[in-house]
Amino acid sequence: IVVSGTVKISHNQGDFVVGPGAVIGLSEGLLGIKATSTVQAVSPVNTRIIPILAGARATTESNSGIKCIFRSLITRILHISVFPKVLQ
C-alpha cells in the first residue's frame, strides 16, 4: 500500500501513476500468480506491506459484498473469470 509519494506502474495495458492509498499486487497475491507489472518510484515513497497470508485470511473472513468488489476488480485488472476459494 502506498502511504505517501507516487509510483509509476508499467503494465501491458499502459503506464499508470498512483499515489497514497494505492494497493499494488493484491490481485496477483490473492490468486497466487506472479505479478507482471514493474513499479518505479516517481517521488520519495513510503509503503506498508500486507503479508499475503494475512490478506487472504482477511478476505476469506470478509462479507460477500467485499468479496464481490475484489472479484470485480480482479476481473477488470487481470481479465480472469475463475476465482480461488478465498474469493468465493
β-pairing verdict for 7-11 and 38-41:
antiparallel
Residues sharing a CB contact under 8 Å with residue 60, sequence separation 6 or more, in sequence order: 85, 86
Helices 64-78 & 52-60 angle (0-180, nearest 10): 130
Per-residue model confidence (pLDDT) at position 68: 85
Measured CA to CA, the distance from residue 32 to residue 46 in angstroms comes to 25
Q: Please indicate, yes or no, whether the overall pTM of this predicted structure exceeds 0.75.
A: no
pLDDT digits (tens, 9 = 90+) for 26-62: 888 888 888 888 999 999 999 999 888 888 888 888 8
Amino acid identity, residue 14? G
